[in-house]
Chain A
Amino acid sequence: MAREGQAAAGRALAGPAAAEAALAAWPAPKAGFTAAARAEAEARLRVAGLPGRRDEYWRFTDPAPLLTPEPAASAPLRVDRPIFEGFDKLRLVFVDGVFDAAASDDPALAGVEIARLAEAGAADIHWARGLYGVLEAAGQSPVARPFAALNTARAADGLLIRVSGVAPRPLHISYRQSDPGSEAMLHHCIRLEPGAEMTLIETGTAAARANLVMEVDLGEGARLHHIRPQGRAHGRRVISHLFARLGAAARLKSFTLSMNGAFTRNEAVIDIAGDHAVAHVAGATLGDGADGRFVHDDTVFVSHGAVGCESRQVFKKVLKNGATGVFQGKILVRPGAQKTDGYQISQALLLDEDSQFLAKPELEIYADDVKCSHGSTTGAIDETALFYLRSRGVTRAQAVSLLVLSFLADAIAEIEDAALAAEVVARLEDWLARREA
């Protein structure tokens, strides 16, 4: 019944009228070098409108929670010890979608230039002019991504980060929520010059409802390692877009951990433009519908436009108590992108009868000398494995936790740094242990 109500709301809100309402709700920021990009994004959004349930690209996930005019209050979750707390990193803090200089470290890191969109955005000349809204615009084809266009048009804050060497410490963007009804729209631009390297960590809940865009441009041989544990507030709703362009021999590894959250849609749009580049996108999701509604959607589009490149998509979801998991992933191999190695796996573990997994894993291939495969499986926990553990004296709850962790292992393996990976595993164990009781 609830679903029907939301669908009705979604229909009422979708389309160009909803786009106008969204544009009106967000004041246009004072635009300097971003002015042209913002105007174009606004025009794109007016044409595309905001999506509704009937849009093919939203067939499994009703976008209504992103569109209802008054967001339901989402209480910030108190966490005893924030993730990655003890790690040596440069921390930049956003509270309810606004940069908080006082809570942040001094943004000085060798080889890394950091500016705030809210400040630098007013300037007419800036290096980010060639990036802001550019990858987002390119990512609007073959399917429109209206929420990203809205973000480009209206985002007032975010970070402009240019890396020219090997960053000595990870950069940590920490999102905090203080107001239970807050809304945030953030837009980050990140450029790694040829040969540059950086680890980027994003943590926390940006707001009760957030629209996040990150545009990443990797020069020749550049390496970005991206780790994103998304905020744990039960009621939060988020749509995020990662747009990345990879130059020759560049390397992108992006891992997202999602636990809790009423509504999450993470889109990744990866354009492999240089030969021998490597892009891995992974996600581990634990969803418990008992905490409220849980809908988690990973939508990934990897486009191979160069020779000898590799892409991997590894998405694992553990769902219980009526949680819904969605995966839409596509590998596009353009004509001439020979020697492509594309791989995609999406798997769901349904811990009870009420949860569901909906998937659309796609391949679209226009070159013959390629190796592309995808797999998708859905099922319950393996009773034989459970029985084996039980026979060794492990309690049922502990056995389930063990099997869940082993199920998620392939996705976690995409985190290169062992210490960071161990911290993620520790968080998963905590989450599972709390639910074992």
Chain B
Amino acid sequence: MTVGSDQETIEVRDGVDRETVETVQGIGAYKYGWNTDIETDYAPMGVNEDIVRLISEKNGEPAWMTDWRLAAFARWREMDEPRWAMLNYPKIDYQAQYYYAKPKSMAVKPKSLDEVDPKLLATYEKLGIPLKEQMILAGVEGAEEAPAEGRRVAVDAVFDSVSLGTTFKAELAKAGVIFCSISEAIREHPDLVRKYLGSVVPQSDNFFATLNSAVFSDGSFVYIPPNTRCPMELSTYFRINAENTGQFERTLIIADKGSYVSYLEGCTAPKRDVAQLHAAVVEIVILEDAEVKYSTVQNWYPGDEEGRGGIYNFVTKRADCREARAKVMWTQVETGSAITWKYPSCILRGEASQGEFYSIAIANNRQQADTGTKMIHLGKNTRSRIVSKGISAGRAQNTYRGLVSMHPKAQNARNYTQCDSLLIGENCGAHTVPYIEVRNNSSRVEHEATTSKVDDDQLFYCRSRGIGEEAAVALVVNGFCREVLQALPMEFAMEAQSLVAISLEGSVG
């Protein structure tokens, strides 16, 4: 029996009633697709030197910063957009979008979050992001009973091109932690910014990073002083609201000797028929014995079932374990975006430094993801671990692309890589493109990859226990992703787990 709908015809297997199928089809998968109706100030459309100067001026930047941007822009004009990824998208017209959009109500910078336009604050409330210090992340089970101490999260809220504000600043300052928007950091802490900005991802690193260097409008800045454990988790929430506008944020995190910080990043955007560009850069500097955990739940609007709209997400993220025993852990849950081009990397320079990369990438409908990591082992006794879980459904294409490089001097280095792909349906694709370069013999590199479909026996077992097909698939997929979900901080793990299920809704038929 077949059930027709305006989008797709689904073959119904025995035992699945029509109602179930219709319920499944009726679910709107993307829950953050609404937009906030506010007035926005735009810079003129397109990008040129004047726009670069304008962004710099709006942020009240010193001359060195303006020059830095202009140098990047000059380089960008000479560069070609990379085409090596397994991504198929129409040519991007870089002159047909806005590079700066700011809510009108932010024209005069509010002194504190209390003065911010209530409409903007409501946006974050609706998204479940706490901007009041007494609030806690929504959706965390049992959070009401638990003591508030343990679960506080400081948030930097970025709305289109500007940061609305940052919570818990005073309390963090007591610990010596600097957490503010990057535009504020350029004004207030120029020495730190000047020393570290571009030191991990140089101005002209790649096409998208170079564009970002020229036009980044805001982002977050974190400095953790020596021997300090950041008293709470830090988080940035990116929201694109304006139409035809690209978001270019830049994040710089510096973990000084012996410090620790856990940093969370989340993002969403409204549903629109026209694709929007997002090109971010994240730089992390980790000094001796310091540790940084960077967790992302990327849930940009993925486009509709036919591949209309969605965010084109071209992101450069890199951590430099600059000194001995520095440690970085990237965890990413990539469920959104029409196009994902993202390779969070670890430069393991310091002796015995460590890099870890845990990733879940889910592509459904017409989504395309080309994502992975680079582990560059330069120091002795460095360690890295890669666990990547890719899930493809609908007509999506999902590629793991990664590099493990052992330099001649990286003696006794170790890498373990596990890349698993899961295919749901016969029209999607799952690909693995690892590069392995071993230039000394005391290092050990192990790479494993598997591709399979959702196990019929496991599904059958769940179904025989009365679990619906959708729920059964979600259960199996959650099991498939478990290793990565466990690496996430608790607040994110809950969100990620439900996202995994939501992202796959409508993929079973």
Contacts from A to B (Cβ < 8 Å): 56, 60, 335-336, 338, 348, 350-353, 355-380
Contacts and interface: CB of A to CB of B under 8 A. Distances in A.
Contact of A361 (B425, B440, B449): B449
Given A358-B437, A368-B424, A368-B453, 8 more contacts: A361-B447, A362-B431, A364-B431, A365-B429, A370-B452, A375-B447, A379-B441, A379-B443
A299 to B, nearest CB: 14
Contacts of B411: 353
Interface of B: 84, 86, 406, 408, 411, 421, 423-453
* Most chain A CB atoms below 10 A, which of B84, B424, B433: B433
Contact of B433 (A358, A360, A371, A379): A360
Contacts of A372: 450-452
The 8 A-B residue pairs whose C-beta atoms are closest, nearest first, are: A350-B441, A368-B423, A379-B444, A378-B438, A363-B432, A359-B436, A376-B447, A372-B451
A362 B435 CA distance: 9
Contacts of B450: 372-373
Contacts of A336: 426
Contact of B440 (A353, A358, A371, A375): A353
A369 B453 contact: yes
A366 B444 CA distance: 32
Given A368-B428, A375-B447, A353 B434 contact: no
Contacts of B439: 356
A378 B431 contact: no
A15 to B, nearest CB: 18
Contacts of B424: 368
24 contacts: A335-B426, A350-B438, A359-B434, A359-B436, A360-B435, A360-B436, A361-B434, A362-B431, A362-B433, A363-B451, A364-B86, A364-B432, A365-B430, A365-B451, A368-B425, A368-B426, A372-B452, A373-B449, A373-B450, A376-B436, A377-B445, A379-B443, A379-B445, A380-B444
Given A335-B426, A369-B426, A370-B452, A376 B445 contact: yes
A362 B445 contact: no
A202 to B, nearest CB: 29
A312 B271 CA distance: 45
Given A368-B428, A375-B449, A380 B441 contact: yes
Contact of A373 (B86, B408, B448): B448
B449 A352 contact: no
A368 B438 CA distance: 33
A371 B450 CA distance: 8
Nearest to B456: A369
A370 B453 CA distance: 7
Contacts of A370: 423, 451-453
A367 B430 CA distance: 9
A296 to B, nearest CB: 15
Given A367-B426, A379-B443, A356 B452 contact: no
Contacts of B435: 358-360
Contacts of B425: 368
Nearest to A358: B437
A356 B441 CA distance: 7
A379 B445 CA distance: 7
A357 B438 contact: yes
Contacts of B433: 360, 362
Contacts of B448: 373-375
A365 B424 CA distance: 12
Contacts of A353: 408, 411, 440-442
B394 to A, nearest CB: 11
A417 to B, nearest CB: 31
Contacts of A380: 441-442, 444
Contacts of B406: 378
A351 B441 contact: yes
A335 B427 contact: yes
Contacts of B449: 361, 363, 373-375
Contacts of A361: 432, 434, 436, 447, 449
Nearest to B442: A380
A432 to B, nearest CB: 18
A284 B421 CA distance: 29
A366 B411 CA distance: 39
Nearest to A372: B451
B430 A363 contact: yes
B405 to A, nearest CB: 9
A355 B438 CA distance: 9
A367 B434 CA distance: 20
B372 to A, nearest CB: 12
Contacts of A365: 421, 423, 429-431, 451
B436 A378 contact: yes
Contact of B438 (A351, A352, A356, A364): A356
Contact of A371 (B426, B432, B442, B452): B452
Q: Which of A359, A363, A373 has the most CB of B within 10 A?
A: A363
A271 B331 CA distance: 38
Contacts of B436: 357-361, 376, 378
Contacts of A352: 441
Contacts of B431: 362-365
Nearest to A340: B451
Contacts of A374: 432, 447-449
A373 B427 CA distance: 20
A114 B231 CA distance: 81
A72 B335 CA distance: 55
A367 B433 CA distance: 17
A341 B366 CA distance: 26
Nearest to B425: A368
Given A360-B433, A365-B421, A366-B429, A373 B441 contact: no
Contacts of A371: 451-452
A378 B421 contact: no
